[in-house]
């Protein structure tokens, strides 16, 4: 091979190699160049706000074994989900042992120890010393609450959305219990504002059955969360922010904040700080909460107040946190939706064909330049094969150039037009799943992730509404069956005693009076059951409407309580009235009488004998408050939350003497809300109380 052949072949190889590097850079998602990075840093340093804190300039005072230390653990094989098959929480896509190793490595690095047992002791000791509890570790009986990040979950079913990992959660629990020597019964796994999914509960409860799980909805082994009111004083308050805090958070001695590596639509990436928002008494439906103090109008790092500074500095939140943990085994650029298997780099993201075309175009241009230069630099023989190739390229340069540009333009144009049409087809297909009763989520491409999130939300709400309606219908049908059976019992007694009186005319006057009284009692019970049937029919087929007029509420309550005196005497109960005098309001008296009749009847039915039933009436500028309180068996929190549901009965058995159809409180709630008021129930320490708040004028 001659020198000129070697130079030509080497140059062509270099051009092809350059072309392959361009394509490879996109395939492997290379980062920005050093020059781009330096220019970005220079721009930021010259344009950043004066208030902004730069890198390596932390705010506040560092705390911990090594104050201010942040550690990270990395294990590439811990998360292997392909982004489309099944759910990412399945065992096949996660390595539990690697997750455990990562947590142990992080704990050890944070404390500067090689042994996790010693590391936990140092962490507890540093925390207690900082909080003036002495240089000591954890003591049995002290409570540790682990705050999960289940932002997308309102049921116990697993979804494709990115939330706390069951594998990282179990790894944390194993380290805390096995290495930290913390008792299971002292650990609370909680998500006060959302639900804890089955994948987390089943995996952790199976291994550690004495743990306590607390979430917003309760049931299925979880405890429904209770809250302390007015626990947060915000630096800037718009008047509608949640101020209550979960009791499990406030009552805990230590907190562990287990957040996720994902962004939020308003504040961006906040790491652990926004996770505290889920410890407040916000509504599980995010649309009913105020997010304005997240400064959503100041996205992309704008300067402004955010509630997170109050969360981090609060004595029952950030200041009581033993460990801040960020789970990055999966990540996401969106608050909703599935995890992203990999981060994507702009400007072309997954549009690989554009990079491929540009790469080949650059490579072709280099080949043309080489052909042009090499053909004119050396003396060639006409029969030289390399000369023939280079001369052919030089001769048809224009044709190849125009042809390549046309082909590239057609391909790119086709791809750009095809993509939105393909997305439209997928959205149409996904919309057909809205009525699908299965639990499988709607999955769309990453580029239309927001559409996927909205469709899944609409579908979940529709399914939840359908399930609620189905449950209510089933409860109603069951009660109809029960009532039909119970109708037969008093009717049989009435017929039996009347037949006896007819067939035995010589019965003594005393027995005759006794049998007549029993028959009358059974007939009255029969009338009550028939009235309950009418309640079901009216509640199912009609909506209540108001006929307001001016009413003396004080006299109404006095009259209703007086009518209950015979019933109270049978159970040795007494009234304890504290009524403001001559309270006049505008309301529908007939319907409001039904509300208080139902509340008083419940108080009588569920009161201990020889106790008082308290009724109070208070008036303020624009509303009145009626409170009914009795002594009786404490209502469990899970039942208290459902007490105003249609057809719900505290006694699920067919104990008709105490329970009716389960419509009374549901109808009472509807009547009160039609008046523009509220009705709430509380139960603790064998006291049951209902509070009704009504406006002075229901108009």
Cβ atoms of residues 163 and 169 within 8 Å: no
Q: Is the pTM of this model over 0.85?
A: no
**Cα–Cα separations (whole angstroms), residue 433 to 87, 226, 365, 464, 612:** 18, 36, 50, 15, 56
At 697, phi and psi to the nearest 5? -135, 115
Residue 74 pLDDT > 80: yes
| Cα–Cα distance for residue pair 298/301, rounded to 1 Å | 7
Residue 26 pLDDT > 60: no
Residue 350 lies in a domain: no
| pLDDT tens, residue by residue, 116-152 | 999 999 999 999 998 889 889 999 999 999 999 998 8
Residue 46 lies in a domain: no
Cβ atoms of residues 585 and 693 within 8 Å: no
Cβ atoms of residues 259 and 281 within 8 Å: no
* Containing structural domain, residue 690: 543-695
> In sequence order, what DSSP letters do the residues of 472-494 get, joined into one string?
HHHHHHHHHHHHHHHHHHHHHHH
Q: Which of 458, 456, 463, 465 shows the shortest CA–CA distance to 161?
A: 456
At 254, phi and psi to the nearest 5? -135, 150
Of the listed ranges 16-30, 46-60, 360-374, 512-526, the least confidently predicted one is 16-30
- Locus of tokens 């035995």: 504
Six-digit token string for 256: 């562990």
State residue 299's pLDDT score: 45
Confidence of residue 622 (pLDDT cuts 50, 70, 90): confident
| Cα–Cα distance for residue pair 442/454, rounded to 1 Å | 10
Q: Which has the higher per-residue pLDDT, 264 or 330?
A: 330
468 alpha carbon, distance to own chain's centre:
19
| pLDDT tens, residue by residue, 501-531 | 888 878 788 888 888 888 887 787 777 767 7
State residue 355's pLDDT score: 54
Q: Which helix (H) or strand (E) covers residue 254, if one does?
A: strand 254-262
Q: Which has the higher per-residue pLDDT, 53 or 391?
A: 391
Q: Which of 248, 252, 241 shows the shortest CA–CA distance to 283?
A: 241
Residue 669 lies in a domain: yes
Q: Which has the higher per-residue pLDDT, 641 or 695?
A: 695
Q: Which helix (H) or strand (E) covers residue 618, if one does?
A: strand 612-619
419 alpha carbon, distance to own chain's centre:
33
| pLDDT tens, residue by residue, 528-552 | 767 766 665 555 544 567 788 999 9
Considering 277, 297, 332, which residue would you say is the last residue of a domain?
332
**Cα–Cα separations (whole angstroms), residue 639 to 211, 224, 244:** 22, 10, 21
Cβ atoms of residues 166 and 204 within 8 Å: yes
Q: Which of 306, 289, 288, 308 shows the shortest CA–CA distance to 297?
A: 306
- Alpha helices per DSSP H over 83-158: 96-111, 116-130
Residue 132 lies in a domain: yes
| Cα–Cα distance for residue pair 488/529, rounded to 1 Å | 11
Name 331's bridge partners.
261, 340
> In sequence order, what DSSP letters do the residues of 140-196 get, joined into one string?
TT--EEEE---TT-SSSS--SS----HHHHHHHHHIIIIIT---GGGEEEEETTS--
| DSSP letter, residue 253 | S
Considering 299, 332, 365, which residue would you say is the last residue of a domain?
332
**Cα–Cα separations (whole angstroms), residue 597 to 539, 566, 623, 625, 665:** 17, 14, 21, 16, 11
Residue 581 lies in a domain: yes
Residue 108 lies in a domain: yes
At 505, phi and psi to the nearest 5? -65, -20
| pLDDT tens, residue by residue, 203-259 | 999 999 999 999 999 888 999 999 998 888 888 776 678 888 999 999 999 999 999
Q: Which has the higher per-residue pLDDT, 493 or 110?
A: 110
Considering 291, 316, 332, which residue would you say is the last residue of a domain?
332
Q: Which has the higher per-residue pLDDT, 261 or 148?
A: 148
State residue 16's pLDDT score: 39
| Cα–Cα distance for residue pair 337/373, rounded to 1 Å | 55
29: left (phi over 0), alpha (psi -120 to 50) or beta: left
686: left (phi over 0), alpha (psi -120 to 50) or beta: left
Residue 237 lies in a domain: yes
N residues, the chain:
699
- Locus of tokens 């944070």: 110
Confidence of residue 18 (pLDDT cuts 50, 70, 90): very low
Residue 384 lies in a domain: no
| Maximum separation of any 2 CA atoms in the chain, in Å | 145
CATH label of the domain that carries residue 611: 3.30.565.10
| Cβ atoms < 10 Å from Cβ of 627 | 18
State residue 320's pLDDT score: 92
| Cα–Cα distance for residue pair 169/201, rounded to 1 Å | 10
Mean pLDDT of the chain: 77
| Cα–Cα distance for residue pair 483/490, rounded to 1 Å | 11
State residue 627's pLDDT score: 93
Find all residues with CB under 8 Å of 652, minimum gap 6, and list them: none
- Locus of tokens 């220019």: 39
Q: 119 exposed, middle or buried (CB, 10 Å; 0-12, 13-18, 19+)?
A: buried
Residue 356 pLDDT > 80: no
**Cα–Cα separations (whole angstroms), residue 216 to 95, 256, 279:** 29, 18, 10
| Cα–Cα distance for residue pair 463/160, rounded to 1 Å | 17
Q: 474 exposed, middle or buried (CB, 10 Å; 0-12, 13-18, 19+)?
A: exposed
Residue 171 pLDDT > 90: yes
Name 144's bridge partners.
187, 254
State residue 19's pLDDT score: 38
Residue 329 pLDDT > 70: yes
Domain count within the chain: 2
Residue 27 pLDDT > 50: no
State residue 643's pLDDT score: 78
Name 631's bridge partners.
687
Six-digit token string for 131: 């909080």
Q: Which has the higher per-residue pLDDT, 187 or 591?
A: 187
| Cα–Cα distance for residue pair 140/129, rounded to 1 Å | 18
State residue 17's pLDDT score: 38
| Cα–Cα distance for residue pair 101/92, rounded to 1 Å | 18
**Cα–Cα separations (whole angstroms), residue 368 to 9, 14, 355, 407:** 14, 13, 20, 18
Of the listed ranges 274-288, 320-334, 469-483, 583-597, the least confidently predicted one is 469-483
Asked whether the bond before 347 is cis by omega within 30 degrees of 0, the reply is: yes
């Amino acid at each position: 091979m001659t020198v000129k052949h070697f130079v030509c072949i080497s140059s062509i190889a270099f051009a092809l190699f350059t072309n392959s590097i361009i394509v490879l850079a996109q395939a492997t998602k290379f980062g920005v160049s050093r020059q781009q990075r330096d220019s970005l840093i220079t721009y930021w340093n010259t344009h950043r706000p004066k208030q902004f804190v730069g890198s390596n300039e932390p705010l506040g005072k560092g705390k911990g074994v090594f104050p201010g230390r942040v550690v990270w653990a990395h294990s590439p094989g811990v998360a292997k989900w392909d982004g489309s098959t099944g759910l990412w929480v399945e065992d096949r896509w996660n390595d539990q042992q690697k997750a455990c190793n990562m947590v142990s490595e992080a704990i050890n690095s944070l404390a500067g120890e090689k042994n996790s047992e010693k590391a936990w002791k140092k962490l507890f000791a540093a925390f207690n010393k900082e909080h003036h509890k002495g240089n000591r570790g954890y003591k049995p009986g002290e409570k540790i609450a682990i705050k999960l990040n289940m932002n997308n979950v309102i049921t116990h079913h697993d979804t494709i959305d990115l939330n706390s990992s069951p594998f990282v959660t179990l790894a944390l629990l194993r380290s805390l219990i096995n290495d930290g020597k913390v008792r299971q019964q002292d650990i609370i796994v909680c998500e006060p504002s959302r639900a804890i999914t089955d994948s987390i509960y089943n995996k952790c409860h199976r291994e550690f059955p004495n743990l306590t799980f607390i979430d917003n909805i309760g049931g299925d082994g979880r405890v429904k969360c209770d809250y302390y009111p007015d626990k947060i004083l915000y630096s800037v308050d718009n008047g509608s922010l949640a101020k209550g805090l979960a009791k499990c958070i406030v009552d805990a001695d230590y907190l562990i904040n287990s957040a996720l590596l994902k962004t939020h639509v308003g504040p961006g990436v906040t790491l652990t700080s926004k996770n505290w928002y889920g410890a407040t008494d916000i509504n599980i439906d995010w649309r009913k909460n105020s997010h304005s103090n997240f400064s959503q109008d100041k996205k992309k790092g704008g300067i402004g107040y955010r509630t997170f500074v109050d969360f981090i500095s609060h004595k029952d939140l950030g200041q009581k946190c033993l460990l801040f943990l960020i789970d990055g085994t999966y990540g996401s650029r969106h608050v909703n939706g599935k995890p992203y298997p990999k981060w994507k780099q702009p400007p072309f993201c997954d549009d690989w064909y554009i990079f491929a075309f540009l790469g080949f175009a650059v490579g072709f241009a280099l080949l043309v330049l080489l052909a042009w230069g090499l053909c004119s630099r050396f003396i060639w023989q006409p029969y030289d094969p390399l000369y023939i190739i280079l001369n052919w390229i030089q001769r048809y340069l224009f044709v190849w150039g125009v042809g390549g540009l046309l082909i590239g333009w057609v391909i790119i144009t086709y791809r750009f037009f095809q993509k939105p049409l393909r997305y439209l087809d997928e959205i149409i297909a996904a919309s057909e799943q809205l009525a699908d009763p299965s639990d499988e989520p709607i999955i769309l491409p990453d580029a239309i992730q927001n559409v996927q999130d909205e469709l899944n939300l609409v579908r979940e709400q529709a399914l939840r509404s359908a399930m609620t309606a189905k449950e209510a219908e089933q409860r109603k049908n069951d009660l109809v069956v029960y009532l039909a059976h119970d109708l037969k019992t008093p009717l049989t007694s009435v017929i039996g005693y009347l037949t006896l009186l007819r067939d035995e005319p010589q019965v003594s006057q005393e027995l005759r009076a006794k049998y007549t009284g029993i028959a009358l009692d059974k007939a009255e019970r029969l009338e009550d059951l028939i009235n309950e049937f009418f309640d079901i029919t009216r509640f199912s087929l009609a909506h209540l409407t108001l006929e307001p007029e001016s009413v003396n509420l004080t006299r109404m309550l006095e009259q209703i309580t007086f009518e209950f005196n015979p019933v109270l005497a049978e159970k040795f109960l007494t009234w304890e009235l504290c009524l403001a005098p001559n309270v006049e309001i505008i309301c529908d008296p007939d319907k409001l009488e039904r509300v208080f009749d139902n509340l008083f009847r419940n108080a009588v039915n569920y009161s201990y004998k020889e106790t008082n039933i308290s009724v109070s009436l208070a008036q303020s500028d624009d509303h009145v408050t009626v409170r009914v309180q009795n002594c009786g068996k404490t209502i469990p929190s899970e039942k208290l939350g459902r007490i105003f549901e249609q057809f719900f009965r505290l006694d699920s058995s067919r104990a008709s003497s105490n329970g009716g159809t389960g419509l009374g409180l549901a109808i009472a709630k509807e009547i009160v809300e039609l008046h523009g008021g509220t009705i709430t129930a509380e139960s603790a320490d064998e006291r049951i109380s209902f509070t009704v708040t009504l406006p002075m004028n229901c108009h």
